[in-house]
Amino acid sequence: MLNSYTSADKVLLAVDCIIFGFDNEDLKILLIKRDFEPEKGKWSLIGGFLKKDEVLNDSATRILNRYTGFHDIYMEQLYTFSEIDRDPVERTISVAYYALINVENHNEELIQNYNAKWFSINEAPKLIFDHDKMLKHAISRLRYRTSTKPIGFELLPEKFTMRQLQKLYEAILSKELDKRNFISKINSLDILIKLDEKDMLSSRKGSYLYTFDKEKYEEKLMNDFVLNL
C-alpha cells in the first residue's frame, strides 16, 4: 500500500494571487517583474508553490504576507487553472486567489524590495503565461461580488467620504453611477456610521466622513442581497 502512488504522475501546484487595491480614484492590481527565466523581465501576478505542510489557504496567506506585509487580508479562492501547457518549464496546476487591500496601508518598502508595482486595471501590461486570464476571472468575480455583498471595508481607509465609496464602486463596475440613487441604495443597507468629522479637502463646505459599522457589515456579508447599482 505504501508504494501505491509510485506510478502516478507528479505535478507542481502553484498558488497565484490577484491583489486588488484602491487609491481613492482607481482600482489597482499589484504586479511583480520577474527576475528569472522563463519570461524574465516581464510582469506577473504574485505567487509561489504549495509546500508539503500547507493547505491552500495557508499557502495563499503566506504569499500575500510576504509581498504585502499584511496578516489579516480578505481573500477568496477563485479558480483552478490546469491547462497542460500553461507553464513551459514543468507541468503545473495553479489555484488562483484574489485579495483586497488598502493601497495607502501597503508597505512601500516591500514593493521596492520585490520589484513590484501598482497598475490601474485598465492600464495593466500583458502578463506571463495565463495570468491575463486569471486577472479577467478575478475582475469578473469582484464585479459579481459587488452586486451581492457590500464591498469597500478592505479597500477604503477607516474614514471615507460618500464620494470615495461611490468612486470605488464605479472603478470596480467600470461605469458611472447616479449619485442620488447610489447614496439611497447604500444608506438602505444600514452599514455606515456618519461621523461628525468632515473632509475639508473635497470641497469648500467639506464632505462628511463615514466609517463602516463592523457588526452590521459582517452580518450583511453572511447574507446575500441584491444591490442593483
Give the H or E element holding residue 192.
strand 192-199
CA distance readout (Å), 102 to 63, 107, 142, 170: 17, 10, 15, 17
Q: Which residue has the higher pLDDT, 33 or 204?
A: 33
| SS3 call for 22 | strand
Output DSSP code: residue 104.
Answer: G
**Stated length of the chain:** 229
The span from the CA of 184 to the CA of 9, in Å, is: 56
Grid cell listed for 179? 449619485
CA distance readout (Å), 94 to 17, 50, 140, 226: 10, 10, 18, 31
pLDDT of residue 1: 54
- CATH numbers and ranges of domains, the chain: 12-148 (3.90.79.10), 160-221 (1.10.10.10)
Q: Does the pLDDT at position 83 exceed 60? A: yes
| Structure confidence by residue, pLDDT tens digits, 133-156 | 999 999 999 999 888 888 778 899
Q: Which residue has the higher pLDDT, 128 or 3?
A: 128
| SS3 call for 32 | strand
- pLDDT above 70 covers a percentage of the chain that reads 98
pLDDT of residue 2: 61
Grid cell listed for 74? 480578505
Q: pLDDT band at residue 169, thresholds of 50, 70 and 90?
A: very high
| Structure confidence by residue, pLDDT tens digits, 11-70 | 999 999 999 999 888 999 999 999 999 999 999 999 999 999 999 999 999 999 998 888
